[in-house]
Structure 1
Amino acid sequence: MSGRTGYDVIVVGAGSMGMSAGYYLAKRGVRTLLIDAFDPPHSNGSHHGEPRLIRHAYEGGPQYVRLALRADVLWQELEQESGVKLLERSGVINMADPSVLSLSQRFRDAEEAGIRCERLDGEEVRRRWQGLRMPDGFEALYEPNAGYLFSERCVAAYRRLALAAGAELLVNTTVIRVTATRSQVTVRTTKGVYTAGCAILSAGAWFRTLAPFANLPVRAVRKVVGWFDAESETDAPLFQAGNFPGFTFGSTLGGYYGFPNIGGAGIKIGRHDGGQPWKPGDPFEPFGTYLEDEADLRRALEAFLPAAAGRLRKGLACKYELSPDGHFIVDAHADYSNVLMAGGFSGHGFKFASAVGEALSDWLTAGKRPADVVPFARSRFAEPAPVHTPEEAIR
């Protein structure tokens, strides 16, 4: 740290979104301070336990498709600038019971955006990937240019490049209180008091600790993921990275996602829905605390990847930060437009972190909300509150 206490922008929460925003701000010459309660990348947020899927044919409408395509470009740029392998184009197969989840709109949005994808039946899926057991009544969408990101490497790359560009980072620092006027934000921490003309609040599952100043409708839940061996050595090559794609399943069992066996770690699988409520200050229970931690994951493997339902190698618990409708919240504070808030990424946000960080940086430097994040305004949950025009913006 330089000993400075005044900045152009303070970023509270330097995980995936915050670290990305800090990088894009610092790259533009903005005096930026990042503050995190831990030491990113770390295991206390939502970015640990690599990898994360990145898809472009996305559920949720054209706004997600556009954001995913921009994010992909930015991940490639970060990979080139950092010299670190961040993105693997393994392909991703999405399978769904149409009575639970239809893929039809996703196909239409993908075609309109020029995204290469294939509609496959059960016979074709089983022929291409012998480890997959897809029922004949299911729909399948395969996106060959999709894949996965190494999330912890991505956060580490943003951190290194942000610091190289002049950003400063306070780690293991708890934010006690945030206050603001139309032209200044004050952040009181366990390591001192810092001020800036603007701020970005991106505290993830810890947003509740910023109340009452920031009252986003975000709740945290405990989620688990596990890595499993194939049942036999004969079956193991079926699931190796390079042979097997990333995957998602939507069925009466629930919504699941997963990855091939990368570097001998085993097949990774997680459940998107469900989970136990959690809030900051509560104990965070490790994997295996509940019988369903392993049982839910194994049940899905037995249904759709039976040869991968072998020994559990490792399990992890992580945090989702859920918005009421499962869509992101990227907006200005109701009373201070020099304070931006980004949260509620609901377990599917990491792939967009590059584009969200860029958009937050654009918003503060240009003084105008970027079109890509207009659909994520908080006003969809309540009557919009008046937003003051800041007396000064970063240029």
Structure 2
Amino acid sequence: MNYDVIVIGAGSMGMAAGYYLSKSGKKTLLLDSFNPPHNKGSHHGDTRIIRYAYGEGKEYVPFILKARELWYDLEKASGKQLFTQTGVLNVGNADSNFIQNIISSAKKYDLPLDVMDANKVQNRWANISLPNDFIGCFEPTSGVLKSEEIIKAYQALAEQNGATILTNSRVRDIYIQEDKVTIKTDEQTLHSDALVVSAGAWSGELISMLGLELPLTPVRKTFAWFDANEATYNHSRFPAFAFDTPKGIYYGFPSIDGSGLKVGRHDGGNPIHPDESPIGFGELAEDEGNLAQFMNQYIPDIWQLKYGKTCMYTHTPDDKFIIDLHPKHANVAIAAGFSGHGFKFSSAVGQALSNLIISGKNDVDISQFSIGRFKKSLFSKPTK
């Protein structure tokens, strides 16, 4: 079977790319080793924060604003509510890079932001306890995306556009010959004019088949839900949040539909090969302890663990994304290394991948995510 484009990895970025490619009229095939949405990647766990005054750097803001526009478009096209405007409270020392980036990016792009000292934060949310040298930056227009529902929505729309999705189909080899792509799975051989690789923690293995060795490191991550007083912590009263603390960077969500308060640690994590048997939540002593010490200090109510889960981040050395064309093959686009903060961008990433395949360029500047910044890692072996 011949296709215009094959997308390997039908998760956060790949499913979005499949939608935009099929919407443009491309005969599109999406391949995934599992059956999205699933618990093997970085998208599961129901929810993801979206914030616009960006603590990781103001250079991300144009891209996240494009993503916001596309999320609204997806809600309209799918007829589903995929975003909940809870507001996002960002907390940290007033001098931290994270907080200063939030403030400076809000000023540069005229984003709504309420900057409060520790007392004002505690007066507004009495159940939060902060050191005196901490401040809060509240983004009222930010909130929560329904990650797994988004993947389902993109899949349904892509299929309506004529896209084909093959699940439980692991890619075993990729061959590039001039302007043609050949992909072998366990079951069949597939052909296309162009290729998108967006396979999360498995991206490094697949990219190596294309003659590139990129510095991608999958790590095991944990998050958990805790019983919470619904009158205090429901999503109409309590915000999503990110705390930059001396003992780690933590994020969390209010209780949505009675789910309980969800909390995770963003930094840290143990390197893992994605094919390893996963270590379940609670099998490592620090799983619950990391979260408990954060809550005991900053949200010191009485907590009871409901359940926890694990997922994987895939880090680059600078924690910036990779979104680019292959240096030697203009018909191959790559998206990888989203380093635990990529989902909120996935609508814009999917559109960018489609644009790169169709025209070789994107309407929002993505040069900061180029493969070329890892020149020492490129071309460790010849492309097949």
What's the counterpart of residue 252 of structure 2?
258
**DSSP-derived class of the 1:289 partner:** coil
What's the counterpart of residue 370 of structure 2?
377
CA separation of 1:369/1:77 partners in 2, compared to 1, >3 Å: closer, same or farther?
closer
- 1:150-299 paired onto structure 2 within 5 Å: 150-210=146-206, 211-213=208-210, 214-230=212-228, 235-299=229-293
Per mean C-alpha deviation after superposition, the further-off stretch among 346-355 and 126-135 is 126-135
Match of 1:43, as an amino acid?
Answer: N
Per mean C-alpha deviation after superposition, the further-off stretch among 276-285 and 40-49 is 276-285
Q: Does the Cα contact within 8 Å between 2:255 and 2:262 map onto a contact in 1?
A: yes
Whole-Å Cα distance in 2 between the matches of residues 168 and 42 of structure 1? 18
Match of 1:229, as an amino acid?
Answer: D
* CA drift at 1:368: 2.6
Q: Does the Cα contact within 8 Å between 2:82 and 2:145 map onto a contact in 1?
A: yes
1:103 counterpart = 2:99: yes
Whole-Å Cα distance in 2 between the matches of residues 262 and 116 of structure 1? 24
Task: Say which of 359, 363, 379 aligns to 2:356.
Answer: 363
**DSSP-derived class of the 1:372 partner:** coil
Whole-Å Cα distance in 2 between the matches of residues 151 and 40 of structure 1? 11
Deviations 1:315-372 (Å, cap 9, x if unpaired)? 0011111111111011122321211110000000000000010011111112335543
**DSSP-derived class of the 2:190 partner:** strand
Q: Does the Cα contact within 8 Å between 1:208 and 1:280 map onto a contact in 2?
A: no
Q: Does the Cα contact within 8 Å between 1:91 and 1:145 map onto a contact in 2?
A: yes
1:354 counterpart = 2:344: no
Whole-Å Cα distance in 2 between the matches of residues 8 and 257 of structure 1? 40
What's the counterpart of residue 382 of structure 2?
none
Normalising by structure 1, what TM-score?
0.92
* CA drift at 1:282: 1.6
CA separation of 1:243/1:278 partners in 2, compared to 1, >3 Å: closer, same or farther?
same
* CA drift at 1:385: 6.8
What's the counterpart of residue 314 of structure 1?
307
Deviations 1:146-202 (Å, cap 9, x if unpaired)? 001000000000000000001110100010011112301111112211111110000
Match of 2:221, as an amino acid?
Answer: K
Whole-Å Cα distance in 2 between the matches of residues 369 and 70 of structure 1? 11
Whole-Å Cα distance in 1 between the matches of residues 49 and 256 of structure 2? 13
CA separation of 1:64/1:102 partners in 2, compared to 1, >3 Å: closer, same or farther?
closer
Whole-Å Cα distance in 1 between the matches of residues 340 and 250 of structure 2? 12
Match of 1:262, as an amino acid?
Answer: I
Whole-Å Cα distance in 1 between the matches of residues 340 and 101 of structure 2? 21
Q: Does the Cα contact within 8 Å between 2:214 and 2:377 map onto a contact in 1?
A: no
**DSSP-derived class of the 1:103 partner:** helix
* CA drift at 1:99: 5.6
1:323 counterpart = 2:299: no
What's the counterpart of residue 389 of structure 1?
none
**DSSP-derived class of the 2:62 partner:** helix
- 1:33-112 paired onto structure 2 within 5 Å: 33-98=29-94, 100-112=96-108
Whole-Å Cα distance in 1 between the matches of residues 321 and 17 of structure 2? 16
Task: Say which of 8, 12, 19 aligns to 2:15.
Answer: 19
Gaps of 5+ in 1: 387-395
Match of 1:372, as an amino acid?
Answer: D
What's the counterpart of residue 4 of structure 2?
8
Match of 2:226, as an amino acid?
Answer: F
Q: Does the Cα contact within 8 Å between 2:220 and 2:311 map onto a contact in 1?
A: yes
Match of 2:263, as an amino acid?
Answer: I
Whole-Å Cα distance in 2 between the matches of residues 310 and 117 of structure 1? 30
Per mean C-alpha deviation after superposition, the further-off stretch among 144-153 and 276-285 is 276-285
Whole-Å Cα distance in 2 between the matches of residues 201 and 358 of structure 1? 14
* CA drift at 1:236: 4.1
Whole-Å Cα distance in 2 between the matches of residues 191 and 145 of structure 1? 47
Per mean C-alpha deviation after superposition, the further-off stretch among 83-92 and 60-69 is 60-69
Whole-Å Cα distance in 2 between the matches of residues 18 and 371 of structure 1? 19
Percent of counterpart pairs with the same letter?
Answer: 41
* CA drift at 1:381: 2.1
Normalising by structure 2, what TM-score?
0.95
Whole-Å Cα distance in 2 between the matches of residues 289 and 101 of structure 1? 33
Q: Does the Cα contact within 8 Å between 1:36 and 1:171 map onto a contact in 2?
A: yes
Match of 1:37, as an amino acid?
Answer: S
Whole-Å Cα distance in 1 between the matches of residues 163 and 245 of structure 2? 45
Whole-Å Cα distance in 2 between the matches of residues 114 and 329 of structure 1? 27
Q: Does the Cα contact within 8 Å between 2:213 and 2:378 map onto a contact in 1?
A: no
* CA drift at 1:63: 2.9
**DSSP-derived class of the 2:329 partner:** coil
What's the counterpart of residue 335 of structure 1?
328
